[in-house]
Structure 1
Amino acid sequence: MKILVTGSAGFIGFYVSKVLLDKGHKVIGLDNINDYYDISLKLSRLEQLGIDRKKAVVFNNTCVSESYQDFSFVRMNIENRERLPELFQKEKFDIVCNLAAQAGVRYSLENPESYVDSNLVGFLNILECCRQYNIKHLVYASSSSVYGLNKKIPFSTEDNVDHPISLYAATKKSNELMAHTYSHLFKIPTTGLRFFTVYGPWGRPDMAMFLFTDAIIKDKPIKVFNYGKMERDFTYIDDIVEGITLIIDKPIQERVQNNDFYKLYNIGNNNSVKLLDFIKEIEVNLKKKSKKDMLPIQPGDVERTWANVDALINDYNYSPKTSIQKGVKFFIDWFIEYYKQ
């Protein structure tokens, strides 16, 4: 199939692109390579896919991979109402995997406009292009953040999520509602995935795994919010990507025949890990104790996340396999090699 992967210079999008290529699909990667975090890391990910970093930074210029004959990349904003339809018309995609978004809970307090531009305007453009150009299936990223102050554990897609506590979460909930509307009105098969704390090699520098590792290596104190009383369903990148590609690869005909156009799943490790245990695992791998700066909970943060992934297991035989011990080790090994620590 020919698949558009938006956010392909991002953490999850880069991995999804690589696995789809290894499975024999044709992939067009799209990303605006914004400066929310280190652009060099994004360009290094693209280099892993055979894209020349100097060519990748040119807007609306399609770069062909030097190592994957079926991969090309274009730097573009999904909120660009002229360019995005042109790309759809030219490439005639079978499937769209929309992972492009302005990420981060805390940054949404500082720069709300970027969340509206990318996550609302951009997502509407994706939906409109899927409608106009007969896309067979739209798979898109939502977030565990939509659960807000939900007290029931583990979180289920059946739970009420009408009380987001960050603008980021509100935009992700909006994406789900927008997708539902387009599935209902225009019979577009859509599948939303609520990601739970994804980590691993090539991960984002604003995430706890990265921040803790970097600080401990540099003998700096780590910021431990809510005085360490936090739990997360930490999910290793390979397990996330397996779930995404299982959904992309499964034929959609049966769902269409059953008028089952809208689907929503949790995708996580099906387990909750205490933040202090997570930190301890990093210390073990670095052979170094951390200096902890214990702080109150941040605005927009939740104390605990835990995904009920029964539906994904039942429908796609999803099976997260990576323990926190293995996952942390894989990340630390990559971090030390990449940053030559």
Structure 2
Amino acid sequence: MFSRRETIGGISGLLGALALPGPAFARSSSKPPRLRSGDVVGLIEPAGFSDGLPQVDAVKTVISGMGLVPKPGRHVASRYGYLAGTDQDRAADLNGMFADDSVRAVFAVRGGWGCARILPLLDWDVIRANPKLLIGFSDITALHLAFAARAGFPTIHGPNAGNSWGKISWDSFWRLAFSGETATFPQPDARTMDALAPERWTIRTIRPGKARGRLIGGNLSVLTALVGTPWLPDFDGAILFLEEVGEAEYRVDRMLSQLALAGVLKKVAGVIFGQCTRCTTAVPDYIGFTIPQLLDQYLAPLGIPVFQGANIGHVSNQLSLPVGIDVEMDADTGSIRMLEPVAI
């Protein structure tokens, strides 16, 4: 077994194919417990299906490599259309993990689509009474947002269990989930990360300054799909973070327009835009707006700190990030400083 502070990307890198593209904040009197070596953690598939038991077994190997004991939900590896079982089955697995006293945290195996379908089926009384770290990203954004609105304890926006866990992903996750640190996450130095694609690691300050607020966000399309529902938390004074994958520029335009028209953007204290992976149109000789131009149009007029290029999203070695706790963002340096731990 490797040192738990080392990268586990070598074990799980082959599993990357598993990842595809309201009310006030609920507040809890307690936070999720930190993870310890030997802890049992739940594996659920609340959205899309995996490719069967062999890949689930590979994910279990990854979790074991973290020093944890994987416990798959009853319906993991099921399939119902493009979903990992019926809505009732997927909700039952999540409810069961939060009701199970032997389970200390819950990992999503993968994203895809489907988390929003199970939100009305979740047992929020049981979830609120049993704070546990929920880990995942992409479509898991729907759960992060609903937990912020209904559960009241923080979660972790980071790789799904079936994704590659590179050094940055694993080290930041360790600091959040195992050490319980109040950490600062600077943007990695572009000169030392990838000489062939330095723009991947480069921060662009849209409006300078620092801002403090509760960190809330995730995938842009999943978030905008929850606008107007009771599962979206209030963004008043929040630090909004966003990422996207596989959406053409006009679709990003449409979603940012929706957030603006719904009044979300005018509420926030700052915005962090991560990676927009493969967000380009396939139209030859495209002459429309670029993603940076769209961000300038929608975010610069807000008069709050905003930066683009954070190491968040559908990219390898993404940052594991706390959701639902107070942070300070610095749009000049591209850093995120936690003001409280995510787990205790």
Query: What band does the TM-score fall into relative to the shorter chain?
Result: 0.3 to 0.5
Please, what TM-score do these two structures have when normalized by structure 2? Answer: 0.35
Per residue, is there more helix in 1 or in 2?
A: 1
Please, what TM-score do these two structures have when normalized by structure 1? Answer: 0.36
**Which of structures 1 and 2 has the larger relative contact order (alpha carbons within 8 angstroms, sep 6+)?**
2
